[in-house]
Amino acid sequence: MSDDKKQAPKKVKGQIILKTFARTTKSESLGVYLQTADGTFLIRPAGGNPFMDNPLAALAGKYIEAQGRKSSYVFFAKTWKEITEEEAGSKE
- φ, ψ of residue 47 to 5 degrees: the values are 80, 0
Spell out the SS3 assignment of 50-91: CCCCCHHHHHCCCEEEEEEEECCCEEEEEEEEEECHHHHCCC
65 vs 84: CA distance, rounded Å: 10
Burial class of residue 33, CB neighbours in 10 A (0-12, 13-18, 19+) = buried
Mean pLDDT for 46-71 is 93
| pLDDT score for 18 | 96
Tell me which architecture the domain covering 3-81 has in CATH: Beta Barrel (2.40)
pLDDT of residue 1: 46
CA dist., res. 7 & res. 9, Å (int): 6
Q: Is the pLDDT of residue 92 over 60?
A: no
Summarised one tens digit per residue, pLDDT across range 64-90 is 999 999 998 899 999 999 999 999 986
Query: What is the mean predicted confidence (pLDDT) over 45-57?
Result: 91
